[in-house]
Amino acid sequence: MTGRLPGPPVPADEETRKLLDPYRLPDGRPLALFQVLAHSRAALDDLRRATSACLKGIALDARTREIAVLRICARAAAEAEWAVHVEMFAAEAELTEDEVRATGTRGVWRGWSARDALVVRLADEIHGGCTVSDGLWAGLADEYTPREIVELLLVVTQYLKVACLTNALGLPAPEGLPRLPHDLD
């Protein structure tokens, strides 16, 4: 692993090693972000809790969640996290290759359903100004329940934080994983 810190820590205790075990790619490679954040137990615990909340603790379907994650990671140019989510969750979310690619392209792709396009726009607006316009809010309210809207905001803002951490730490996308299209505005 390369990045700005001197590589992943070698956890000094068995408890930390056990905490890191689940955070691996399907081929067994460890997820670099979790390893690096293990330098601080508080940071590791925060990421573990927030990730679990976004992946297991919400009612949003996997497709909606992953469109939100992939789009915010793409907008933030967090290729490492984008690639990990494509590898680990795109199939579960039933995203096509075109849809995955569209999360990293300029504008709102014409192939999105009206509901999916709202999720893309939400990630774009949060990335662009950390807020949601009245027009988008009205569209979300027409298509999603209040719970779903809150959960969409949770996912988008959590993965914006993850994208910032990934980029600040200089973590590269794992070798052999898809690469982010580089044609966002």
Is 130 a domain residue? yes
Is 13 a domain residue? no
Considering its fold, how many domains does the chain have in total?
A: 1
| Residue 123: other Cβ atoms inside 10 A | 26
Is 143 a domain residue? yes
Is 114 a domain residue? yes
Is 96 a domain residue? yes
Residue 156: domain span: 56-168
- What pLDDT, in 10s, does the model give residues 33-65? 998 999 889 999 999 999 999 999 999 999 999
Helices 62-75 & 79-89 angle (0-180, nearest 10):
160
Is 75 a domain residue? yes
| CATH number of the CATH domain containing 133 | 1.20.1290.10
Confidence band for 13, pLDDT divided at 50, 70 and 90: confident
Percent of the chain exceeding pLDDT 90 equals: 79
Is 135 a domain residue? yes
Determine contact, residues 70/103, Cβ cutoff 8 Å: yes
The reply to whether the predicted model has a pTM over 0.75 is yes
Is 83 a domain residue? yes
